[in-house]
A and B are shown apart, each in its own frame.
Chain A
Amino acid sequence: DIQMTQSPSSLSASVGDRVTITCRASQGISNNLVWFQQKPGQAPKSLIYAASSLQSGVPSRFSGSGSGTDFTLTITSLQPEDFATYYCLQYYDYPSSFGQGTRLEIK
């Protein structure tokens, strides 16, 4: 099974900052990675698919990159509504697997 290691587990930042979250797969997964955002009490929301494609309606301050085993989610110019928990998911092979999550908090 493929393991997804996400870092950091938590992150403090200020409005306007640029932040980067990383996800590493235990084996190559090509670009079969999705990034999600989840706010308390809500379902996850897809931000990025195929490692770097922006889901419809997602602001362009979100971007994804990577292929193979190493992936990043970058948020430029943080907005108040961006403080949430972020997860990666690999869909290269089953069982699919999520990263442990990164909690993004206001500094």
Chain B
Amino acid sequence: QVQLVESGGGAVQPGRSLRLSCAASGFTFSHYAMHWVRQAPGKGLEWVAVIWSDGTNRHYSDSVKGRFTVSRDNSENTLYLQMSSLRDEDTAVYYCARSSSAIPWNYWGQGTLVTVSS
């Protein structure tokens, strides 16, 4: 069965960096675009970034552009989010999600919590 498992979250000070991972299994990872979405405590969902199935194209929200980098290793079936210059407002649960042109957005991981605080 399809599984997406995020890891790498934790507490970090403002200005520091953190890398999140999303381990995929149960499907052909290299066939799917992958997204990161976040949700601040008690708030709504915010789209963060996407990477194409072959890694050739990426897009970011304005709030993270220039600070976050999405990447993937199709040989390891893993998606990454490198987060730099972290701010208090980056505190959120971060989810990865799978998407295809045929059936968009049909699987999500359970999320990993990132807390940015001094």
Contacts and interface: CB of A to CB of B under 8 A. Distances in A.
A34 B45 CA distance: 13
Interface string B79-118: 0000000000000000100010001111111110000000
B44 A94 contact: no
24 contacts: A36-B45, A38-B45, A42-B110, A43-B95, A43-B108, A43-B109, A44-B37, A44-B108, A45-B108, A46-B105, A46-B108, A49-B104, A55-B103, A55-B106, A56-B106, A89-B45, A91-B99, A91-B105, A95-B47, A95-B61, A96-B50, A98-B44, A100-B44, A101-B45
Contacts, number: 57
A68 B59 CA distance: 23
Interface of B: 35, 37, 44-47, 50, 59-62, 95, 99, 103-111
Contacts of B59: 94-95
Q: Which 5 A-B pairs have the closest CB atoms?
A: A94-B59, A96-B47, A43-B108, A101-B44, A98-B45
